[in-house]
Amino acid sequence: MALAVTNEHLQEDWQLSKECVRERIQILLKTSQWSDCTFKVGGSTDFEIFKAHKLILASCSPVFEAMCFGPLAEKQCINVSDVEPDVFRNLLEYIYTDSINLSSVEDASGVLYASKKYMLPHLSQLCHEYLLSNLRPSNALAIFEFGKGIQEAELMKACMDVMCKYTEEVLQAPCYHILPTTLASLLDQRALNMSEFELFEAVLHWAEAECEQLGLEPTGANCRAVLTEAGILSKIRFLVLSQQQFAEGPESSGILTSEEIFALKYVISDIENNGNDSYGRNESLSNIVYCNNPDTSVSHISKSDDTTAGDNPSKNEPEPNTKVSRHMSLPNGMSCSLYPRSRIFIKQFYCARQFLKTAVTVSGRLRLLTKVQTDRSVMVHGIRIFTRLIPQREFTYAPALPRDYQENMEVCVLDYQGALLCQTVYTDIVEYNTLATVTLSEPVRFISGREYSILLVLPCNGGCTHEYPLSFMSQTEKTHGIEFRFCDHADVNGTGAFVRRLDKGFVDGVVFSM
């Protein structure tokens, strides 16, 4: 339990030192001077007491107006059990000062919930914009499920777009278990960045994790049960798999019955045969109808519902460009879709900085910072950097000059407030005296007009120093209609203070998508 700040040490005539109303109102919030309402915020044991002013609250929110001055106005301490104390503190800060400092997705989510509860639309918009600007594959699931809980359709759509583009990264995130309803919504999409076989493997892995969360053994029968309960099994497009993929995946997974395996293999085989010119003249996948059969049995194949094979085979051949009433039954609850989902391929581009001239060669541990700003929002996937120079000792002792080495470097991406967005430990075999591309651990969205920082720490392992070339590089480049602005800095004294240095260019370019 914690209490808000009191006015015990409030200076006499404090109003005289405040130049504007905002400063005076902020003092009232901090000191609780003349407060006339009290809030108990949080759980039954972990809560804080906040004191506020009815008039200020009611002037900002119709909900607070009803709570403070309505016919059912609270007379005593108001309990707020569904909001965290830190969130409520941010809420009051905005009400009293018209400003808020959101430092994380979790903060923005909590404040967005509270702002909708107390009907503060402008604050809701600020939180909404913060969540969109910090949306990445690693948090898309959490933001989507939060948005679904508070019925934020626009936020959900933005998250689903990211989940479709980065399906593999989203489904394989180690620290977050996707809800069944969210996975079902993802499988409803027509375009994903995964093949159906890869998607099945990811779904099966999810089912095993879901069984463990429910305290069940991850057997085939239990995995099938959770998939069926969530409505996911019927969304898997088994018919787009090849016979080999079906044998390696669904058939060996244990989630299908022997009757279902037989029926699906029969249909998949028929589809593959149908693709051969020698099989079924005038037939195509678009002309064949597969349907569910409640009896889960495989029916016979007929070329026509109203004719049978006779002495004149030509009468049984379908007319060109007409539907063939050729039915093959599938087990009940299985997808009848014959066509794979559209595969989303992310086209990446490169913005290269112009090399002006080599400036200096540095050795030892050095922290470099390159600030980047764009005039259009982009997803940044990686950067290109200079590699080491061949060590001088190799010229003296080595019979042949080495061509490559093991690079180990830490790369961090920071937002305009200095908050960490992405941390990547780059480890790879690279050539000396050339350029290397560092792929970030996850793509980072750069919002138009905002400044982001790329922080690199040049290694110094075991007392050995390594030489890197630093250069004068162009400060502005334009590619594919997008302008990039670069500004190089360095912590030259090792104090943590970065100063602008035109001669400390180390980031040669940026890999991005639109």
Place of tokens 């959490």: 142
Q: What is the pLDDT of residue 34?
A: 86
Share of the chain above pLDDT 70, in %: 82
Question: Crossing angle for the helix pair 196-213 and 220-229, nearest 10 degrees?
Answer: 100
Window from 87-101, 320-334, 366-380 with minimum mean pLDDT: 320-334
Where is mean pLDDT largest: 176-185, 283-292, 329-338? 176-185
The pLDDT-based confidence of 283 (bands split at 50, 70, 90) is: very low
Q: Please list, in sequence order, all residues whose beta carbon lies within 8 angstroms of the beta carbon of residue 94, skipping any fewer than 6 positions away.
A: 100, 111, 120, 123
* CB-count burial class (<10 Å; 0-12, 13-18, 19+) for 335: middle
Q: Is residue 53 pLDDT above 70, yes or no?
A: yes
More confident residue, 80 or 7: 80
Please give the CATH number for the structural domain made up of 349-513.
2.60.120.820
Helix (H, G, I), strand (E, B), or coil: what is residue 356?
strand
- Highest-scoring range by mean pLDDT, 39-53, 106-120, 158-172: 106-120
CA gap 13, 81 in Å, rounded: 37
Name the residue ranges covered by the structural domains of the chain: 2-134, 260-338, 349-513
> Would the pLDDT of 262 be above 70?
yes
399, HSE (Cβ side, Cα atoms, 13 Å)? 0
Crossing angle for the helix pair 85-97 and 21-31, to the nearest 10 degrees? 150
Q: What number is the average pLDDT over the span 356-366?
A: 76
Grade residue 398 by pLDDT with cuts at 50, 70 and 90. Answer: low
pLDDT tens profile 130-152: 999 899 998 999 999 999 999 99
Can you give the pTM of this predicted structure? 0.79
CA torsion, ordered 32, 36, 41, 47, to nearest 10 deg = 60
pLDDT at 272: 83
Contacts of 320 by beta carbon, 8 Å cutoff, 6+ apart: 282
DSSP secondary structure, 358-409, as one string: EEEEE-SSEEEEEEEEESS-EEEEEEEEE-PPPPHHHHHH-SS---EEEEEE
Average pLDDT, whole number, for the chain? 84
The confidence score (pLDDT) of residue 463 equals 57
Of 278-292, 356-370, 445-459, 461-475, the range with the lowest mean pLDDT is 278-292
Q: What is the pLDDT of residues 421-475, one digit of tens each?
A: 999 999 999 999 999 999 999 999 999 999 999 999 887 655 566 788 899 999 9
pLDDT tens profile 216-231: 999 999 999 999 999 9
Nearest to 490 by CA among 372, 409, 369: 369
Q: Are the C-beta atoms of 87 and 114 separated by less than 8 Å?
A: yes
Q: Tell me: domain 2-134, CATH 3.90.226.10, correct?
A: no
Closest CA to 141 of 107, 164, 112: 164
